[in-house]
Amino acid sequence: MKAFILQRYGKKRALRLADMPEPELRDGEVLVQVHAAGVNLLDSKIRNGEFKLILPYRLPLILGHDVAGVVVKVGPRVRQFKLGDEVYARPDDFRIGTFAEFVPVKEDSLALKPKGLTMEEAASIPLVALTAWQALVEKANLQKEQKVFIQAGSGGVGTFAIQLAKHLGATVATTTSTTNVALVKSLGADVVIDYKTQDFEDVLRDYDVVLNSQDGKTLAKSLRVLKSGGKLISISGPPDPEFGKESGAPGFVKLVMRLLSSGIRRKAKSRGVSFSFLFMRANGSQLREITRLFDAGVIRPVMDRVFPFESTNEAMAYVEAGRAKGKVVVKIK
C-alpha cells in the first residue's frame, strides 16, 4: 500500500511517500480502506519529536490520527462491524497511521460514519470531537447555565467545542481573530473576544470552565477568569501527575510531568480552582454519541481545505501555520 512515512524525527522534516506492507490485523481489529484522513497539529508535534518520552514510537512511522473509510477485512472476535460498513475513528496510540491506503482500527475505537456527512467531513471529526467531549463532558461535567471559555474558537477543537457547549446549555466565550468573528458567532458563541484588539482577562469574570489550547502565558492568565471551584482543562500541556499515572509512563517521565506542571498546579490551588491536562484517547462509544449529534443536525462539521493525498506534507504545513478555519483533510480514495 502507499503511505507517507516518517523516517527520522525532525522539525519541518518531510514525510516520504513509500510502498509499505498492508497492516496485519490483531484480535478485535478491522482493516479500514482509508477514503480521507484528518490532519492535526498532533501529527506535526510527533514528527518534531515532542512526544518521544510519552509516545516512544518505533520508526519508520506512518502518521495520521483521523480516518473515514470502509471496512474491507474483519479480524478475529469482531462483533459490531462487517465488510462494507462506512466507518470513522481516531485510531489508538501506537496503532495510528491514517496517511495511508489502509489502517487497522480496534473495534472499540470505531463508529459508523454519520449518514449525512461525506467521507471528507467525517474524517475531520474524530480527534477534535473526542477532545472536546472528553474535556467538556467527561472532565468538566459542563452543566446547563454554566459559563465556559473556549480558546481559539475558529480552530479544529474550538469549532466543535463551541457547538457542543451550546448543546449542553452553557454560555460560551471564545477568542478569535477579526476575520473569524462571524464564523464563531454562527456556531453559537455568546461572547467573542478579538484577540488582536482585546485581552480576554479584561472581559471575562467568574467562569466555571476554561478549555486552554494556547501557550503557558495564556494558561496562567486563564486561572484569573475562573471563579472559585472552577476548572482549567488544558490540551496543550503541561502534562500533570494524573496523566502520568493514566499513561503508564516510566518513573522518570512521571517525575518530569510532576515538575513541569508544579507551577500551574500550585497557582490553581492558591486560587481555589483545579488544573488538569487532557491528552485525548480513542473511544468508539463516545464517538457513537457524537454521531447522534451530527445525525440530529445539532452539530455541523467546519472544514477549511481538502488536500489530495500526494500533498500530505503541504496539508501538514498549512495546519502548522495556525490559520485554518476548522479542519484540514487529506483525500486518499
Strands 67-74 and 2-6: unpaired
Name the band, by pLDDT with cuts 50, 70 and 90, for residue 230: very high
Q: Which of 120-129, 238-247, 292-301 has the weakest average pLDDT?
A: 238-247
Number of other residues whose CB lies within 10 A of the CB of residue 108: 14
pLDDT at 28: 97
Helix (H, G, I), strand (E, B) or coil at 104: strand
Beta bridge partners of 124: none
CA distance 323 to 171: 25
Backbone angles phi, psi at 330, to 5 degrees: -110, 130
Q: Give 215's Cβ-side CA count (13 Å radius).
A: 1
DSSP-derived secondary structure letter, 138: I
Least trusted range by pLDDT, from 125-134, 253-262, 294-303, 317-326? 253-262
- Name all domains of the chain by residue range, CATH numbers in brackets: 2-125+301-331 (3.90.180.10), 128-277 (3.40.50.720)
Mean pLDDT of all residues belonging to the chain: 96
Give the pLDDT confidence score for residue 256 in this predicted structure: 87
List pLDDT tens digits, range 31-78: 999 999 999 999 999 999 999 888 999 999 999 999 999 999 999 999
* Mean pLDDT value across residues 230-237: 95
**Amino acid at site 45:** K
pLDDT in tens, 268-298: 999 999 999 999 999 999 999 999 999 999 9
Residue 22: band (very low, low, confident or very high) from pLDDT cuts 50, 70, 90: very high
Confirm whether pTM is higher than 0.95. Answer: yes
